[in-house]
Amino acid sequence: MARTPVELLSAADQERLFALRRMKAVALGALIFMAVLFVVGFALQDRLPALAYLRAAAEGGMVGALADWFAVTALFRRPLGLPIPHTAIIPTRKDEIGRNLGEFVETNFLEAEVVRRKLASTPIAARLGAWLRAPEHAERVASEGAAMAQGVLRALSDDDVQDVIESLAREHLIEPGWGEPLGGWLERVIDTGAHHGAVDLAADTVAAWLDANPEVFQGLVSRRLPSWVPSIAARLVDHTVYNEAVAFVGALRADPRHPARGAIDDYLARLAFNLQHDPVTRDRLEQAKATLFDSPRVRRLAAEAWGAAKQGLLRELDEPGSALRTRARDALVEIGERLQNEPSLRSRVDDWVTDAAVFLVERYRSDIASLITETVERWDPQETTEKIELMVGRDLQYIRLNGTVVGALAGLVIFTIAHALLG
């Protein structure tokens, strides 16, 4: 089985590979050392009977070393390339291992009670508050949020946004009828007298305009009089019309019960009634509404408004000292201080986080576990074997080393007991 070249491994994996090779060399050295002791003991035990104990210990050590070498090697590949059953366990049973791992994580970690107990013992809100109240941390969050918002805004297509806005406007503004709700709203306004302020504002505006523009009335009526009317009389007519207009507006402003106000109330009351009950009035309103929204000029203004808003937001988000970024940072600092100083708020936040985490775990635990299973299934068997061996292979070499030592001790004990009993 071909291995990944060392130069293609990450720095951490290269370090693990070198550590694995060192431990393999140590374990192999222990096996060779036992073999040398066995040869010496076997060759000289007739002349020096005590060396029989050395031979027995070395023999047991070799057996232990070879047995554990076989066991460790069988996890990752077939020992000596032989097709021995139940070897190369990881590459041949990779998918089953992935499924078992996913089930293990789902059963033991993605359990609602486990998550709730862990989060309940963790002061999440307090730690978040302590971290956020530091201005540099709040600035960091605001900066990251601004960067994300800029990315979203730049990714949005202006045409798509305009289509969405137009679709929403058509669904919620154009298609629903305005007549009945608008008539009901106007009726409530009239009943409460809330429109009187608007009438006063209109009267004040007209009075101010009349006071600033008396010349507009010059010739307003006189130019329509016969030519034989003296010019003095014509000017007098214009002046009279202007004074009457000023007087009328002044009386309207001064008298809350002026007949003109009553006429306005009556007109608005009729309009409110007709909007709710007269099909002709409602149809005229709907036609005017459709004409307004379907106007190319209105669409162009909407597009320009979106473009201006988008560019303004991008500038505000990009500038660290902008009002938007400053307000966001100050708001985050304030949230941190409140989390630190208000136990009730901390408790609510902890409960929200816990409930949200439990909900996500209960709803998506199988999906999270399947992510592990599907990821392992997509892995190449050789690559999977190499990764696992790099992660745990060095520790597994200690099994070989321990097997050598334990085997030597077991061989020595067995030989000693046998020699003592059987001679």
Q: How high is the pLDDT of residue 344?
A: 92
**Mean pLDDT, residues 330-342 taken together:** 91
pLDDT tens per residue, range 390-400: 888 888 999 99
Those residues whose C-beta lies under 8 Å from the C-beta of residue 233, and which sit 6 or more positions away, are 225
Those residues whose C-beta lies under 8 Å from the C-beta of residue 163, and which sit 6 or more positions away, are none
Name the amino acid, one letter, at 377: E
What separation in angstroms does the CA of 277 have from each of 59, 183, 267, 287, 383? 108, 9, 15, 17, 77
How confident is residue 8, by pLDDT bands cut at 50, 70 and 90? low
Q: How high is the pLDDT of residue 173?
A: 67
Q: Average the pLDDT over each of 54-63, 98-107, 225-234 and give the range with the smallest value.
A: 225-234
Give the CA angle between residues 81, 394, 74 to the nearest 5°: 25
Nearest residue to 184 (alpha-carbon basis) of 192, 175, 174, 196: 192
Q: How high is the pLDDT of residue 238?
A: 66
How confident is residue 275, by pLDDT bands cut at 50, 70 and 90? confident
Instruction: Report how far apart the first and last C-alpha atoms of the chain are (Å, whole number).
Output: 50
How confident is residue 53, by pLDDT bands cut at 50, 70 and 90? very high
Q: Which residues of 362-383 are buried (b: 16+ CB within 10 A; e: fewer)?
A: eeebeeebeebbeebeeeeeee
How confident is residue 79, by pLDDT bands cut at 50, 70 and 90? confident
The tokens describing 245, both together, are 């207009």
**What is the Cβ-side half-sphere exposure of residue 81, based on CA atoms within 13 angstroms?**
2
Mean residue pLDDT of the chain comes to: 85
**Mean pLDDT, residues 92-108 taken together:** 85
**Mean pLDDT, residues 242-246 taken together:** 82
pTM of the model: 0.53
Q: How high is the pLDDT of residue 1?
A: 47
What region does 380 belong to: left with phi over 0, alpha with psi -120 to 50, or beta?
beta
The domain limits of the chain are 10-92+380-422, 159-316
